[in-house]
Chain A
């Protein structure tokens, strides 16, 4: 009787989890794959085949946009790491107590605000009639208005801004656990700033660097708002292409194939990153 009760309790607990995972995650992605390998041959008539994937590889616009998105995301990840590392180090090692909490909170607050609002802020700053352009004119540094918006640099600024927190948080956590005496020992043994950074600090921070890079790369790859709003019509971001196949062109088969390719790339990067750093998904994401 008692074990029956326990069994019932167990099934009641596992039911919502299974419903959620099967109905909202597993089956939809299976469905996405099935649609991506069906080709339209007539009205409501479909054939199975890899024609959508062939279309992706034969049309330069498609695969170039894909490659461009991937390369820009790698670049954004690298920039985020380079810009974020000194900040994380400063917060973790060079500040104490209340200053540390305050600086950390100052990093957090912008990320509670909607991405849309943050991107809107950059539009106000960068556009032709924006703050930067007007200030430069006021100072007499340029004769006419300058358009800072709608180019790759603007996209990059936005991407780094959007994702830098996800680099700083894991870095602060790992750097926090680095014992100061290790750095002191490095100096005692005759090391200089550069060699200590390379031999002690970076190896210690590696888990944080890897998980930060994975998250930032994923976020950049899957970003839609920043490239579309800051890059304008020619931003050529892959998520934008997926959106237009689905909503504008109503070509769901090709759109699904695109979606699956993006998913494959992002999963591959996560997998390789975890393998390289010998971490598991549960450790990295479970915090």
Chain B
């Protein structure tokens, strides 16, 4: 059970074998996705027809690579647009929330804190449909009352951004609060004694201290936004982000161009994940 207690070698080795099998199980799907991105065949399956980079750089049908496939490039652009907005909004609101929950005492704080955690336990599909229903009824009411059109409240990028923001903010709040709790308030008091204004002290002392957490949560927000599917699916309009576009292609049956996109996604998300970990580490 523990290293100091001797154990029969059969048990030890079968345990190790199980751990090995488990990690193979973890790695297998991602490995095949990556490998078939280089297969010189129009189907992402065996037999192996030889190595090619056509699914990245190809220009002639049917071998149109990622970098020449318009629908995918456009979807990546849409996803990036959404991710930047979601990340900026979440981090801004998350920072305010962190200051509120760490620095202030007020009535109903415990209740508000619980409400703030609520998005974590609401299934993404439900979050999506509730925002869809609410914004549509607001749009209907406004349109009946004014006779104007409110397209921003109909399924589309604005709703996608709001939908993703509604639960990613919770993560940003938690990460930034954790860092703010470690801050020594006497540093800020020292700045005030030295003649800084309240805002100046926060700007020059507290925010730089929070920066690693802010960067880490911004990176994680981008990652979560890029990969979100459930909430986005319910709110998407005519411009679809990458996950929705890929889902559509996947259902139709696909060429290895999807493997190529996936490979790029794997590399980018692993890199972003590592960056966020490094930033979170550097704060200790």
Chain A positions within 8 Å of B, measured between CB atoms, are 5, 9-10, 12-14, 16-17, 20-21, 24-29, 31-32, 35, 83, 86-87, 90, 93-94, 103, 106-110, 112-118, 120-125, 127, 129-131, 134-135, 161, 180, 183-184, 187, 193, 196-197, 201, 218, 221-225, 229, 239, 242-243, 246-247, 252, 255-256, 259, 262-263, 266-267, 270, 281-282, 285-287
Contacts and interface: CB of A to CB of B under 8 A. Distances in A.
B76 interface: no
B133 A224 contact: no
A150 B219 CA distance: 36
Contacts of B229: 114-116, 224-225
B59 interface: no
Max chain B CB contacts within 10 Å: which of A12, A106, A263?
A263
A103 B247 CA distance: 31
A113 B272 CA distance: 10
Contacts of A266: 121-123
B119 interface: yes
A285 B234 contact: no
Interface of B: 1-5, 15, 18-19, 22-23, 25-33, 36, 43-47, 92-93, 96-97, 99-100, 104, 106, 112-127, 129-135, 137, 162-163, 165-166, 169, 174, 198, 223, 226-227, 229-230, 233-234, 243, 246-247, 250-251, 258-259, 262, 265-266, 269-270, 272-273
Nearest to A93: B2
A201 B163 CA distance: 41
B129 A255 contact: yes
Given A13-B104, A112-B223, A93 B1 contact: yes
Contacts of A122: 29
- The 10 A-B pairs of least Cβ separation, nearest first, read A121-B29, A222-B123, A28-B130, A112-B273, A28-B134, A24-B166, A114-B227, A31-B134, A134-B46, A32-B130
Given A285-B120, A287-B174, A31 B166 contact: no
A124 B48 CA distance: 13
Given A125-B29, A266-B123, 9 more contacts: A31-B134, A83-B22, A86-B18, A117-B266, A131-B45, A187-B5, A225-B230, A242-B129, A243-B233
Contact of A31 (B114, B130, B246, B273): B130
B1 A183 contact: yes
Contact of B125 (A9, A129, A130, A242): A242
A146 to B, nearest CB: 14
B247 A225 contact: yes
B123 A262 contact: yes
For the residues of A in contact with B, the DSSP-based class is: helix
Max chain B CB contacts within 10 Å: which of A31, A183, A247?
A31
A20 B123 contact: no
A103 B259 CA distance: 26
Contacts of B132: 246
Contacts of B130: 28-29, 31-32, 259
Nearest to B223: A112
B272 A112 contact: yes
Contact of B26 (A14, A110, A180): A110
16 contacts: A16-B93, A20-B169, A86-B15, A87-B22, A110-B27, A118-B29, A118-B30, A129-B46, A161-B25, A183-B1, A221-B123, A222-B230, A229-B250, A262-B126, A266-B122, A266-B123
A127 B29 contact: no
B59 to A, nearest CB: 24
A26 B273 CA distance: 31
A267 B47 CA distance: 47
Contact of B162 (A24, A130, A246, A247): A24
B276 to A, nearest CB: 9
A30 B94 CA distance: 24
A90 B116 CA distance: 35
A21 B126 contact: no
A285 B269 CA distance: 24
B234 A243 contact: yes
A106 B223 CA distance: 18
Nearest to A197: B1
A123 B124 contact: no
Given A107-B26, A224-B125, A282 B113 contact: yes
B112 A121 contact: no
B84 to A, nearest CB: 18
A9 B246 CA distance: 45
B32 A125 contact: yes
Nearest to A258: B129
Contacts of A110: 26-27, 29-30
A187 B1 CA distance: 10
A180 B93 contact: no
A120 B266 CA distance: 12
B233 A281 contact: no
A137 B262 CA distance: 28
A124 B18 CA distance: 24
B91 to A, nearest CB: 12
Contact of B45 (A20, A127, A224): A127
Contact of A24 (B5, B96, B131): B131
Contacts of A125: 28-29, 32
